Chains A and B, each alone.
Chain A
Amino acid sequence: MLAYIIRRVAQSALVLLIVGLVAFAMFRFVGDPIDNMLGQERTAEDIERLRGQLGLDQPFVVQYYRFLENAVQGNFGVSYRQGRPVIDILMERAPATLELAAVSGILAIIFGIALGVFTAIKRNGITANLIMSGSLIGVSLPTFLIGILLIYLFSVELGWLPSFGRGEVVDLGGWSTGFLTASGLKALILPSITLGLYQMTLIMRLVRSEMLEVLRQDYIRFARARGLRDRTVHFRHALKNTMVPVITVIGLQVGAIIAFAIITETVFQWPGVGLLFINAIQFVDIPVMAAYLMLISVMFVGINLIVDILYFFIDPRLRVDRKGGH
């Protein structure tokens, strides 16, 4: 067990290093930050001076090494665009993204599981079929289109909900939250639906198909034969057994929700890290791009690691199998 974890952690570290290397190799293709940083009147000397100062005249491997050297000491550099330490900016932006992701994730899980079970149990009903067809929208429409449609309907036509921003936020010792004000909560509705819709339909379709699979199993038939109530059969026996793959997918999707918040944040001008990353790409703000990419990969690698370890605990068969192998 311990050896397994150590091996996984070592693998994860290697993945992180490679992600960073690839990222730094690609930054040069994003463009030249110097042009954005200096005005139209800049001279050739200004360009040379700044390029030297920022170390952009060095090969990317050297730039990467310097980044790692500083990152290990907790210093992610200074944003080219805002002229402030990247770590400060990320800390300032993280609450917005995390709150949005949390609300979207919770909505997606609750509605996904509930609708999935419903459509599995009543698989020939009209409502279930309508839900299934409707879920195709969630899977197939791109996020930005859903966002724009929601804005058009609820902000422009009906005027119920704000089209952009976080509303009023309250600062709780460095964590700015939108949960405590009416305008903050209202501002969360459209973006969280937009962001969570895909995950919701994904979970729903997965729960449905797993559930249908389980309902065909012998032990369910025996349960029914024993005269157990439908409720008990569906929720105690069937649902529980569908959850293993569902939890895996949810785990992986948590990362996806945070990473894909980029598009939702851009559409709703949500001041999170995703919007920050888009701005950084346009400006070729290398320190911000590097820190964001590292952060996201740390997150993905971390989630995968946790999911792998969780398997050990959730599914007793895995443990037995592994023991048998030794």
Chain B
Amino acid sequence: MKTTTVLTLTSLLLASAAPLSAETLRWARSGDALTLDPHAQNEGPTHTIRHQMYEPLIIRDVTGAFEPALATEWAPKEGDPNVWVFKLREGVKFHGGEDFTAEDVVFSFNRAKQENSDMKELIGSITEVRAVDDLTVEIVTDGPNPILPSNLTNLFIMDKGWSEANNTVNVQDFEGGEITYATTHANGTGPYVLQSREPDVKTVMTLNENYWGKDQFPLDVTEIVYTPIQNPATRVAALLSGEIDFLQDMPVQDLDRVNGADGLMVRQAPQNRVIFFGLNVGAEDIEADNVDGKNPLADVRVRKAMSMAINRDAIQKVVMRGQSQPAGMIAPPFVNGWTEEMDAESKTDIEGAKALMAEAGYGDGFSIRLDCPNDRYVNDEPICQAAVGMLGQIGIKVNLDAKPKAQHFPLITDSKTDFYMLGWGVPTYDSEYVFNFLVHGREGDIGTWNNTGFDNDELDAKIKSLASNTDLDARNKDIADIWRVVQDEQLYIPIHHQVLNWGMSEKVDIAVDPEDQPKVKYFKMN
């Protein structure tokens, strides 16, 4: 009798304790956040860590759609297309207990516009941010900016008072070397509070008991332990041995292994990143080929032939083990302006390609150097190796030069390559971003990643007009027109859209975020 009572009591206790029990999410990926300063580095893994502690006005949910965070409503101001009005969430507090007000938003935007800020280009069109009252902010831009909210999803809000008290009003200055308080401490409004952090070793965060979204999100995880593990084999071993629950940056060759293991699974989704080859179409003569006095890439028939020689299905099957989605345009599928038809325009046709090459006068082929990174994208070098063989079929002898990213990307920025691999993600989810960086001619701040030498003034004018076109239908039509030119000119040879794989223990339940930025507040733990 007595034992039964004890047992009943115990089970009752256990049952009541279960929902309150602490759930730790042990999370690993290949790299660590570079800093905690909210405006100092514009980089994926760094944003990911910040997203747990800090919040922007608006975030994107797992489908890429806007979701209100610190702002509840936003709209262009009636009668003044140059101004956006943001209504702020009421009753939000920072981790330190400070009230969240419009002053903090003004302060954070001004901080993000400073010289040392890495976020300033994204909000370059903003001329003034003013607090109308405690919970209303007006953002003034240098012209109508219909897609301004898209640029704000990684722009984190800090507390003005905290920053002033801790001397972190200015964005961290790498050269100055002053370690600002904000690089190692965090005081946001987000769902998790920083407990401890050793850069490159371990970051621990615990649930913010006063989070405004307490009833809105699962918030099943009460503690996050984040550990970067650089070596891919070790990373997978840690997941297989149960030392971690959630893994980003899954090596593709281990997917089956993890999927086949007890209690583990892999979830996947298309990533916001497209991989393609860039071509120098603008130069009179190029250095990387063996044709004297002429640039074979300047001939659109050669570019078309090169695209037709690439067998994207074979790359998907053999190089990527199914982990990619063949692409026909250089925008990921979430982006405004992407269409299924254009994304299917890349066709493999070796005979047709050979005919085009002959027609262009390169029936005997030519040789050219392909510059490729070897530590940036999923299987980047093997993709290039596959392309070498495929282009060889139409007589183009490709010399592959694969290098670490730190050496590869300067080639593109300094125009020292004529044929190169590049990957592109679109944080604003709008084609304008792609055009600004990859299609518009290189002029000062614009076209900075366009190494194709392509410069079409008429098209450039059209791209520029997108920024202030508030008639969204007309704007979308312009976007479609610009894409048509890019497609017909074959400025780039699209390869595929990357697929993201997250490995996790079966107790974790989360949908894959296309930007590879998991937000732990959405995690459910079974």
Using a CB–CB distance below 8 Å, which chain A residues touch chain B? 29-47, 49-50, 53-54, 77-78, 80-85, 88-89, 92, 148, 151-152, 155-156, 159, 162-166, 266-269, 271, 275-276, 278-279, 282-284
Contact B237 A151 (CB under 8 A): yes
Shortest A258–chain B CB gap in Å is 19
Q: A269 — which chain B residues lie within 8 A by C-beta? A: 227-231, 234
- Interface membership of B242, Cβ < 8 A: yes
Q: How large is the interface on B (under 10, 10 to 19, 20 to 34, 35 or more residues)?
A: 35 or more
Q: A275 — which chain B residues lie within 8 A by C-beta? A: 200, 230
Contact A42 B174 (CB under 8 A): no
Question: Which of A30, A44, A82 sits near B34, CB closer than 8 Å?
Answer: A82
Contact A78 B404 (CB under 8 A): no
Q: A284 — which chain B residues lie within 8 A by C-beta? A: 406
Given contacts A32-B407, A284-B406, contact A83 B234 (CB under 8 A): no
Q: A40 — which chain B residues lie within 8 A by C-beta? A: 42, 425, 437, 449
Using a CB-CB cutoff of 8 Å, which residues 4-63 of chain B contact chain A? Answer: 34-35, 37, 40-43
Given contacts A83-B179, A162-B243, A163-B243, contact A30 B449 (CB under 8 A): no
Tell which of B118, B230, B445 has the most Cβ of chain A within 10 Å: B230
Shortest A225–chain B CB gap in Å is 57
Interface of A is mostly: helix
Shortest B300–chain A CB gap in Å is 28
Q: A164 — which chain B residues lie within 8 A by C-beta? A: 227, 229, 234-235, 237-238, 243
Contact A35 B448 (CB under 8 A): no
Residue in chain B with minimal CB distance to A31? B406
Shortest B405–chain A CB gap in Å is 8
Contact A156 B406 (CB under 8 A): no
Other A-B pairs, 18, CB within 8 Å; known A44-B444, A49-B115, A78-B177: A31-B410, A32-B409, A33-B406, A37-B41, A38-B118, A43-B121, A43-B448, A54-B174, A83-B179, A151-B237, A155-B237, A155-B238, A163-B238, A164-B229, A266-B230, A267-B231, A269-B234, A284-B406
Given contacts A77-B177, A164-B243, contact A35 B35 (CB under 8 A): no
- Interface membership of B240, Cβ < 8 A: yes
Q: B238 — which chain A residues lie within 8 A by C-beta? A: 155, 163-164
- Bound together, the chains give a CA A165 to CA B235 distance in angstroms of 11
Shortest A268–chain B CB gap in Å is 7
- Bound together, the chains give a CA A269 to CA B29 distance in angstroms of 12
Q: B35 — which chain A residues lie within 8 A by C-beta? A: 82-83
Shortest B248–chain A CB gap in Å is 15
- Bound together, the chains give a CA A205 to CA B437 distance in angstroms of 61
Residue in chain B with minimal CB distance to A88? B179
Shortest B244–chain A CB gap in Å is 9
Contact B183 A35 (CB under 8 A): no
Q: A38 — which chain B residues lie within 8 A by C-beta? A: 42, 118
Contact A41 B230 (CB under 8 A): no
Shortest A37–chain B CB gap in Å is 7
- Bound together, the chains give a CA A39 to CA B404 distance in angstroms of 17
Tell which of A50, A151, A163 has the most Cβ of chain B within 10 Å: A163
Shortest A69–chain B CB gap in Å is 15
Q: B407 — which chain A residues lie within 8 A by C-beta? A: 29-32
- Bound together, the chains give a CA A18 to CA B257 distance in angstroms of 49
Using a CB–CB distance below 8 Å, which chain B residues touch chain A? 34-35, 37, 40-43, 115, 118-119, 121-122, 172, 174-177, 179, 183, 198-202, 227-231, 233-235, 237-238, 240-243, 375, 403-407, 409-410, 413, 425, 437, 444-445, 448-449
Given contacts A31-B410, A35-B413, A41-B122, contact A156 B240 (CB under 8 A): yes
Residue in chain A with minimal CB distance to B174? A83
Contact A84 B179 (CB under 8 A): yes
Contact A35 B409 (CB under 8 A): yes
Residue in chain B with minimal CB distance to A47? B413
22 pairs of residues in contact across A and B, judged by CB atoms under 8 Å? A32-B407, A32-B410, A35-B405, A36-B405, A37-B174, A38-B118, A39-B41, A39-B121, A44-B448, A50-B174, A77-B177, A83-B183, A85-B179, A88-B179, A148-B234, A159-B241, A268-B234, A269-B228, A269-B234, A271-B201, A275-B230, A282-B404
Question: Which of B118, B176, B444 sits near A39, CB closer than 8 Å?
Answer: B118
Given contacts A31-B410, A151-B234, contact A156 B241 (CB under 8 A): yes
Q: A49 — which chain B residues lie within 8 A by C-beta? A: 115
- Bound together, the chains give a CA A84 to CA B201 distance in angstroms of 15
Residue in chain A with minimal CB distance to B424? A40
Shortest B435–chain A CB gap in Å is 14
Shortest B434–chain A CB gap in Å is 12
Q: A30 — which chain B residues lie within 8 A by C-beta? A: 404, 406-407
Given contacts A38-B118, A44-B444, contact A83 B172 (CB under 8 A): yes
Shortest A179–chain B CB gap in Å is 17
Q: B437 — which chain A residues lie within 8 A by C-beta? A: 40-41
Shortest B411–chain A CB gap in Å is 10
- Bound together, the chains give a CA A312 to CA B242 distance in angstroms of 54
Q: A165 — which chain B residues lie within 8 A by C-beta? A: 201-202, 227
- Bound together, the chains give a CA A163 to CA B240 distance in angstroms of 10
Shortest A122–chain B CB gap in Å is 38
Residue in chain A with minimal CB distance to B28? A164
Contact B174 A80 (CB under 8 A): yes
Question: Which of A29, A47, A152, A282 sits near B237, CB closer than 8 Å?
Answer: A152
Tell which of A44, A77, A88 has the most Cβ of chain B within 10 Å: A44
Shortest A68–chain B CB gap in Å is 18
- Bound together, the chains give a CA A32 to CA B414 distance in angstroms of 11
- Bound together, the chains give a CA A41 to CA B426 distance in angstroms of 11
Contact B234 A271 (CB under 8 A): no
Shortest B334–chain A CB gap in Å is 17
